[in-house]
Amino acid sequence: MESRRIHEHWSNWAATYGTGLRATTKTRTAKALEIDALCRRLNSLLGDKTEARALEVGCGNGINCVALAKALPNMRFDGVDYVPDMVAAARENGRAGGVEARLRFFVGDALHLDEIAGLGSAYDLVFTDRCLVNLNTVEQQKLGITALAAKLRRGGHLLMIENSLTTYGKQNRLRELLGLPPRQPADFNLFFDETEIRPHIRATGLELIDVEDFLSLHDLMLYVLVPAINGGAVDYEHPLVQAAAKLNQEMSATEPGGFGAFGQNRLFVCRNPL
């Protein structure tokens, strides 16, 4: 899909859904697992670091930043999104959540972070959540990663929750084994081709230190097992999906990635060497 139409898509969702979860995702269970994965990782990487600063690029209506600010009182968060209505909703969510004093939101482009007035020059942690898959070429995704890396201090970390063709293909293989047709990414998404993305991470000077598959059980239930008994239909509110999400989160606390690599999103953890 053309970049202009992708921007129009998210502008329409921002105008339609405002401060609600639906502005950026269809399923609350996946969002809960995304926030859990980010929170666990920020805790492990930053611990009790006083006044740690994080930047979310592609922050949407601020749901991640608000939830993380509530869970991590020693941290301050900046968020960037290229849809003005998303940024306005993010500020509203920050006020409603009582954490606006530790949040700042900016309108700007992921490919031109250096042009955003007021943004910090270097952060302890930079993260995305299904942001770079909205760039419509692999080359643009690489430029995005380069821009993210440039905002990291030495010793800082880049976290990217992004859709992967690798695990999406494995998920589709399981669907086919149960007689279901393969799913296709949305028109406005270009899932990561890891054969291209991993070498580029290294080329920026970052180290890829971990890849966590944090929602495999959830996605297997949502996109494979429930459709297999439900006439092929995906049911975001099915009780088995809710149970799978809870078990996935509880398991991740002690054994991250314990359910294999079948979720369509992966958490890529990168470090900027000292």
The string of DSSP letters for 119-179 reads: --S-EEEEEEES-GGGSSSHHHHHHHHHHHHTTEEEEEEEEEEEEBHHHHHHHHHHHHHTT
pLDDT at 57 over 90: yes
Res. 50: pLDDT tops 90: no
pLDDT, position 143: 98
What's the distance, CA 112 to chain centroid?
Answer: 19
Extents of the domains making up the chain: 3-165+187-214+265-271
| Mean pLDDT score, 120-128 | 97
How much is the average pLDDT of 115-127? 96
pTM for the model:
0.96
Question: May I ask the CATH architecture of the domain 3-165+187-214+265-271?
Answer: 3-Layer(aba) Sandwich (3.40)
- Summarize pLDDT for 146-170 with one digit per residue, the tens: 999 999 999 999 999 999 999 999 9
For Cα atoms 267, 270, 272, give the angle at the middle one, nearest 5 degrees: 160
Q: Which of these, 160, 151, 66, lies nearest to 108 by C-alpha position?
A: 151
- Tokens read off for 17: 């859904």
Q: Is the pLDDT of residue 49 over 80?
A: no
The pLDDT of residue 46 is 86
The string of pLDDT tens digits covering residues 10-20 is 999 999 999 99
Mean pLDDT of 247-257: 96
What does residue 231 show for φ and ψ, rounded to 5 degrees? 65, 25
Q: What is the Cα–Cα distance from 115 to 109, expressed in whole angstroms? A: 9
**Model pLDDT, residue 274:** 87
In tens, the pLDDT along 79-99 reads 999 999 999 999 999 999 999
User: Over the stretch 69-80, which tens digit does the pLDDT of each residue have?
Assistant: 999 999 999 999
* pLDDT average, residue stretch 244-271: 97
The whole-number pLDDT of residue 23 equals: 93
pLDDT, average across residues 135-143: 97
Distance in angstroms (rounded) separating the CA atoms of residues 181 and 97: 42
